[in-house]
Structure 1
Amino acid sequence: DQVRGIEGESARAYFSSFDRMVREDRETFKLNGRNRRPPRDAINALISFLYALLMNDCVAGAEGVGLDPQMGFLHTIRPGRAALALDLMEEIRSVLALTLINRRQIQKTHFINRPGGAVHLDDKGRKEVVIAYQKRKQEEITHPLLNQKMPLGLIPHVQARLLARTLRGDMESYIPYLYR
């Protein structure tokens, strides 16, 4: 529970500094706290959509090495919740939302206001986000622990493999990925 509290504080700190990193269209993309199911503003709609994409990659990474994506450490285990995938996401939550906003690839016109206050990306906006996400995954990085070049999109799979090796006793401790 103590570790979960630290994770929660980290998330609050990240989201509280988010507005200072938005350079374009601050009115549309002002973050007044995280909200979801449904998202009630453009920035939360964008973040939720990106997290859904990343979640799929993290679930695949966990399952690919024989780990149960439902059994996490940082996130509370609940039926239907991929807690381990959420744990892996913590390490690699991308700055892609900020990049899309600051490069004006995503704009106010890419969002639909639904009855009841929900806000969603329109078809054009979703397409723009998916294309940018796939391009970002192809970017070459050097993994800090392995000192090996690889596409950024492999990080969920590599980190899941490192976690599995740690849990099986092949590694002394798990080293999280730190995005630079």
Structure 2
Amino acid sequence: MNTQLLNTLYVQAQGAYLRLQGDTVRVEVEGSLKCQIPLHHLDGLCLFGNVLVSPFLLHRCAQDGREVAWYGENGRFQGRLAGPVSGNVLLRRAQHQALDAKAVYLAQRFVESKLRNTRALLQRAMRERGETEAFASALAEHETSLRWLPYAQTLDEVRGLEGNAASAYFAAFGELLIGGEFSFNGRNKRPPRDPVNALLGFVYALLATQCTAALEGVGLDPQVGFLHALRPGRNALALDLLEEFRAWWGDRLVLALLNRKQLTSRHFEERPGGAVLLSEDGRKEVIVAFQKRRQETVQHPLFKEPVPIGLLPHIQARLLARYLRGDLPEYVPFVGK
């Protein structure tokens, strides 16, 4: 699958070969032309897995300052080609300056996306299963947080609103599970103490890897975030971006795996000290489901054509980079349907 978004060509077709013909990029698979795009329409190339590029195209991209980023088939960042003219240093500078000037605004955008996506999940559950006290309380808390979020003046206020909504959401999360095999009595981690928390933590880690790769691919520093506090070794910006996908992608995948009984108690194992982790078979099952989800398409609010879900972090990272550089007047977070 090949997708052109935000002047960037994303190539996910395994075995694809990109070459330069005149000033046109040709994408071929097994000798068959799949698409051709004028080079001057592209700011960069993002290549996933087994995708080959001709030396002449690489040389031209380097010469023009056009970035080429490589990812594994699973979306993990591998490396980036940038020529002698690169805006990354200016982008990083803008990112650091935004810590003082735009931190509250960006934190609000990340939290707004999380609240709206979580609210949609709760509303859908209440339509399908009927109103419960926990659902009603969680929805009311999300409405309150969304109402007060634009008025937050500090990061602590933004984090407080997000924390209140999250507490109410996880108080209702157990009622999203059906079948009775698994129960949920609150969020816990490091280590997780039950199968549901073990699965949530594993899926969030997969999403964090995707977000880190997307940020690295556009030249942003994954450790310099706005909503999450800066700590050595912590990819704070990747965690910020993760908030946009936590409920819409992560929690929905967890609920599907458990409610459809794709995962059962045999996919988890208890370790000494009470920690509960996914077994090897359990991890394989989750990764396969996660990869299938990445290939599905969804309507992004800014594009007419559906885009693969796996590209959403890359789209948002590029939008964020453009906002930080001053190319966009505002950052538009992802809100799914």
TM-score range, shorter chain: over 0.9
What is the match of residue 69 of structure 1?
A: 222
Give the Cα–Cα distance (whole angstroms) in 1 for the partners of residues 163 and 303 of structure 2: 29
Name the one with the larger strand percent.
2
* Structure number with higher relative contact order (C-alpha < 8 Å, ≥ 6 residues apart): 1
Give the Cα–Cα distance (whole angstroms) in 1 for the partners of residues 211 and 256 of structure 2: 21
What is the match of residue 81 of structure 1?
A: 234
Q: Deviations over 1:39-74 (max 9, x none)?
A: 111001000110111110000011111111111111
1:65–1:153 CA distance, 2 compared to 1 (3 A): same
Deviation, 1:108, is 1.2
Residue type matched to 2:316 in 1? Q
- 8 Å Cα contact 1:112-1:122 kept in structure 2: yes
Q: Deviations over 1:105-160 (max 9, x none)?
A: 01111110110000000111111000000001111111112333111011111101
Q: Deviations over 1:150-171 (max 9, x none)?
A: 1101111110111111111111
Q: Secondary structure at the match of 1:112?
A: strand
Q: Structure 1 residues 128-137 or 9-18, which shifts more?
A: 9-18
Q: Structure 1 residues 128-137 or 12-21, which shifts more?
A: 12-21
Aligned length: 178
Q: Deviations over 1:65-112 (max 9, x none)?
A: 111111111111111111111111111112100010111001111110
Residue type matched to 1:103 in 2? R
Q: Structure 1 residues 5-14 or 90-99, which shifts more?
A: 5-14
Give the Cα–Cα distance (whole angstroms) in 2 for the partners of residues 10 and 64 of structure 1: 32
Residue type matched to 2:279 in 1? D
Deviation, 1:12, is 2.0
RMSD over aligned Cα, in angstroms? 1.2
Give the Cα–Cα distance (whole angstroms) in 2 for the partners of residues 84 and 51 of structure 1: 14
- 8 Å Cα contact 1:91-1:179 kept in structure 2: no
Q: Which runs of 5+ in 1 are unaligned?
A: none
What is the match of residue 48 of structure 1?
A: 201
- 1:39 is aligned to 2:192: yes
Identity fraction in percent: 58
Give the Cα–Cα distance (whole angstroms) in 1 for the partners of residues 254 and 316 of structure 2: 22
Q: Which runs of 5+ in 2 are unaligned?
A: 1-155
Give the Cα–Cα distance (whole angstroms) in 1 for the partners of residues 269 and 198 of structure 2: 10
What is the match of residue 274 of structure 2?
A: 117
Give the Cα–Cα distance (whole angstroms) in 1 for the partners of residues 200 and 193 of structure 2: 12
Q: 2:308 aligns with which of 142, 151, 174?
A: 151
Q: 1:101 aligns with which of 249, 255, 258?
A: 258
Q: Secondary structure at the match of 2:263?
A: coil
What is the match of residue 179 of structure 2?
A: 24
Decide which structure has the larger Cα Rg and report it. 2
Give the Cα–Cα distance (whole angstroms) in 1 for the partners of residues 328 and 165 of structure 2: 26
Give the Cα–Cα distance (whole angstroms) in 2 for the partners of residues 90 and 82 of structure 1: 13
Give the Cα–Cα distance (whole angstroms) in 1 for the partners of residues 228 and 211 of structure 2: 14
Give the Cα–Cα distance (whole angstroms) in 2 for the partners of residues 39 and 12 of structure 1: 17
Deviation, 1:35, is 1.1
Q: 1:127 aligns with which of 277, 280, 284?
A: 284
What is the match of residue 157 of structure 2?
A: 2
